[in-house]
Structure 1
Amino acid sequence: MNRTPHVTDAPYLDITDPSFSMHSEAVRDARERSWYARTNYGLAVLRYAEVTELLRHPSLVQGSARWPDHHGVHDGPFHAWWARNLLVLEGDEHHRIRRLLNPAFSTRSARRLEPVFTEVAEELVSSFAGRGHAEFVSEFAEPYATRALCAMMALPHSDWPFIAEHANTIGLALTVSVRDDIDRIDAAVRALHDYVETLIAARVADPGEDIVSQLVHTSAEDGDRLSAAELRNAVVLMLFGGMDTTRNQLGLMLRTFLRLPDQWELVASRPELARAATEEALRVAPTTTWVTREAAETFSFGGVEITEGTTVHLFTRAAGTDPRAYPGGGDVDVTAEERRPHRTFGGGIHHCIGHQIARTDLAVALRVLTGRLTDVHPAGGDEWLPDSGNTGPIRYPITFTARA
């Protein structure tokens, strides 16, 4: 494996530049020259093999724990919630909470939800299919993502605008302007805390088959249970993370296949390919374009000494299009029989706990969209988040023809 031995010789990427793009020639050129690049914030790892290895490296820990403090937020509801959610916990505490949460996010749970995901997707597409145009984010991606969460938790679907509004506001915390918006963010966290505490009390009194009921009533073999605060934090994280990432990924998936109409039509004619097509879209156009780790200790990797405290960005998008791992790099083939597993859902102990359900609701959406719409094109006037960190469409108007 070709690894660059000296940090000072490595390419440099300015990831704070508003024009920086994960799809840029600069990133591709850096990946060809080296397995990593220097950035404003530590190192960026660019190739599939190294990203895969470092996702599981014992000397790296989740790199987002101190995000609020780094940006001037040192207390308040968001700070307290962020410090105690599964995304940033490490060690025995992380393993314990993850073990208690795992049963609710099984493949079986995902299969059970597939019919209701289909029903929601069909209803949403039916609301605009007859007029030949739609604003994809507000008319499909956001309500679908949020109502999929409502289905998972057996919530009234009429609650989806409330959940989406507050989840969107909490999303402002992941921007560098978090301090400017912290009052709104804190208010949104308090609102979701209150909502979730009422929900949990209802499930304690009258459990069902939904995920929250499972979390309330499932205990590990040793009798351990989630505390009230741990359960509340986990459900708030589900409402925030599940809506935001699914909405963004739906828009990215649509854009991927609008550029490849033959692949769109192939899925339409062979709906069983929707899952493979979803994996291809996740690989080449992930909403989470990098995951962040931090060196818990000084260690050597690939001839480079990575000192304690160094930020390490693992570029999942660059890894997913690395021609060393995938013939054709970013080429999409929904009929490819063998693909290495992409790293869009992370890896190691911080592998996304909800990946089975996310894969299912995305594949259902793609199957319904391709089955109902053809000749789909961007209508212009689209707006997108920056093509780094977490990305996706803000607005995405489209035109189309409804299938007969």
Structure 2
Amino acid sequence: MTTKTVSPSTGTGAPASARNPESVPSLADDPFSLANLADPYPLHEKLREAGPVVWLEKYGSYAVTRYEPVYEILTDFETYISGGGLGPADRRKSAEWRPAGILESDPPTHTAMRRGLSKVVSPSSVRRLRSEFEPPARDLVQELVARGSFDVVRDLAEVYPLQVFPDAVGIPQGGRENLLPYGSMTFNAFGPRNEVYEEAFRDADAVSAWVMENCERRNLRPGGFGAGIWEVADDGGITADEAALLVRALLSAGVDTTVTGIGNTLLCLARNPDQWEKLRANPNLAKFAVDEALRLESPFQMFHRTAAVDSVIEGVLIPKDAKILLFMGAANRDPRKWGENADSFDLDRSASGHVAFGMGLHQCVGQPIARLEIELVLRALAEAVERIELTGDPVPQIHNVLHAFSSIPVRVVPAAG
């Protein structure tokens, strides 16, 4: 359990995150190395077994990988704040490439922004999207099934969300290809300034300029989510600057995590033909398949929190201002929570409670839209496809915090009749 404490800091004068606590297991492993980003799970197991809290020597920060402490930290927003940034640097003390948005803010700023976004992205507004999102999913699936072979990422996961979600936000058609590199920039910035970060920001000026321009109020279609956010600003619920940030945040979160979620979910099903058969026999399992895939192959693998006060995690003293790297991907495979078969894809499992979309105050507001898109793709495929088979090895997409693939080649066998 995570508990607050009034224990004093050590008073050494060094930054809290730079001190190596002798009582904590210490590892030299780099979670942001190319090898660990491509395949994070061996390191996750090593960290989980080393202890509930581990010291990362390379970054001078704490790592938490087990489900219970990850859940506790995510839900204790007062002790473990987001305002210090989701990356290893404390954004309160260093310049960042963009202003803090909803993901890197705390109450009361976060409260106002989340309330404003919730007025626009609501259960009723998401339900209305189903009738708009379903026909494009069916049409695209029919086209791909007719081909016989295709790439899940390039031909499906990157195509469908870029068609339907920007429509819902009200973004113009031209230039939408900029949304993928913009999302890559946004989320890679939650890692260190490594070669992955540098690659993501290679065309930063042009990409950012397009996104900034097309999220301006004058360029958003009336009636879309984007225009709705600006209407909240008109009513005084948020500022104009916060409205602009929210439109951009909604776009980046609504595209990248959905692209990754579609790809990862279909990879799980292609690797487990018996589970695909279960889904085909009962398409109502689609929602369960989405959650189980989000648990097993979590799009968001890790990000940081900052300790606002001295605190205790699982008996370990965490000093004020220390950085804590939360591994949601590891927590979602923790056998202490999910059982000995935690590394398997099982539609009979209840994946309720997974932390793929965070938890508590900062749980992703847009997750119902991502879930809807993935579900509609699964239902369309379950109706049209008897079997999905991998025709080559999936190619990992190297990313600082997202677990995704750049290519998943498959062959499909159409359903009879």
> Shorter-chain TM-score category?
0.7 to 0.9
Which of 132, 152, 157 lines up with 1:136 in the alignment? 152
1:301 match: 313
Give the Cα separation in 2 of the matches to 1:388 and 1:165: 14
| In the alignment, structure 1 residue 207 sits paired with structure 2 residue 222 | yes
List runs of 5+ in structure 1 lacking aligned partners.
none
1:125 match: 141
SS in 1 for 2:104: coil
Give the Cα separation in 1 of the matches to 2:351 and 2:406: 31
More deviation in 311-320 or 11-20? 11-20
Going from structure 1 to structure 2, the CA distance change for 1:260 and 1:179 (only over 3 Å counts) comes to closer
Going from structure 1 to structure 2, the CA distance change for 1:120 and 1:288 (only over 3 Å counts) comes to same
2:215 match: 196
Going from structure 1 to structure 2, the CA distance change for 1:387 and 1:234 (only over 3 Å counts) comes to closer
2:290 match: 278
* 1:225, distance to aligned residue in structure 2 (A): 3.0
2:123 match: 107
1:36 match: 53
| In the alignment, structure 1 residue 27 sits paired with structure 2 residue 47 | no
Give the Cα separation in 1 of the matches to 2:233 and 2:112: 11
1:384 match: 396
Give the Cα separation in 1 of the matches to 2:50 and 2:148: 46
2:249 match: 237
In the TM superposition, 1:311-330 aligns within 5 A as: 311-327=323-339, 328-330=341-343
Identity %: 25
Tell me the TM-score normalised to structure 1 length.
0.86
| In the alignment, structure 1 residue 335 sits paired with structure 2 residue 361 | no
* 1:344, distance to aligned residue in structure 2 (A): 0.7
Q: Tell whether the 8 Å contact from 1:107 to 1:357 is kept in structure 2 after alignment.
A: no
Measured against aligned partners, the alpha-carbon deviations of 1:127-159 in whole angstroms (never above 9, x if no partner) come to 221121012212110111212312322445565
More deviation in 165-174 or 270-279? 165-174
List runs of 5+ in structure 2 lacking aligned partners.
2-20
Tell me the TM-score normalised to structure 2 length.
0.83
| 2:257 maps to amino acid | T
Give the Cα separation in 1 of the matches to 2:84 and 2:381: 35
Going from structure 1 to structure 2, the CA distance change for 1:393 and 1:217 (only over 3 Å counts) comes to same
In the TM superposition, 1:70-109 aligns within 5 A as: 79=97, 82-109=98-125
Measured against aligned partners, the alpha-carbon deviations of 1:56-106 in whole angstroms (never above 9, x if no partner) come to 2222112763859789x976xx72xx3231111222111111111112122
Give the Cα separation in 1 of the matches to 2:211 and 2:160: 19
Give the Cα separation in 1 of the matches to 2:89 and 2:342: 38
Going from structure 1 to structure 2, the CA distance change for 1:121 and 1:29 (only over 3 Å counts) comes to same
In the TM superposition, 1:364-383 aligns within 5 A as: 364-380=376-392, 382-383=394-395
* 1:381, distance to aligned residue in structure 2 (A): 5.7
| 1:59 maps to amino acid | T
Q: Tell whether the 8 Å contact from 2:185 to 2:201 is kept in structure 1 after alignment.
A: no
> RMSD value over aligned CA atoms?
3.1
1:290 match: 302
Which of 357, 366, 374 lines up with 1:354 in the alignment? 366
Going from structure 1 to structure 2, the CA distance change for 1:92 and 1:207 (only over 3 Å counts) comes to same
Give the Cα separation in 2 of the matches to 1:379 and 1:330: 23
| 1:288 maps to amino acid | F
Could you say which structure has the higher helix fraction? 1
